[in-house]
Amino acid sequence: MSKITIEDKTFDLKDVKSLYPAVLVKTGYDDVETTEMSLEWIDIESRGRVEVAGYGIFVLISDEEKHSFIYKDRATLNDAMGELARQLK
pLDDT (tens digit, 9 = 90+) per residue, 1-58?
A: 599 999 999 999 999 999 999 999 998 777 778 999 999 999 888 877 888 999 999 9
pTM: 0.88
- What would the mean pLDDT of 55-78 be, rounded to a whole number? 97
Rg of the chain taking only CA atoms, in angstroms: 14
- Measure the CA–CA gap between 21 and 78, rounded to whole angstroms: 9
CA–CA gap between residue 47 and residue 15 (Å, rounded): 37
**Closest residue by Cα to residue 22 from 60, 62, 65, 63:** 60
Q: Which amino acid is at 9?
A: K
- Rounded to whole angstroms, the Cα distance separating 63 from 17 reads 9
pLDDT at 45: 82
Contact 17, 60 (CB under 8 A): yes
Using DSSP, state whether 15 is helix, strand or coil.
helix
Residue ranges per structural domain of the chain:
3-88
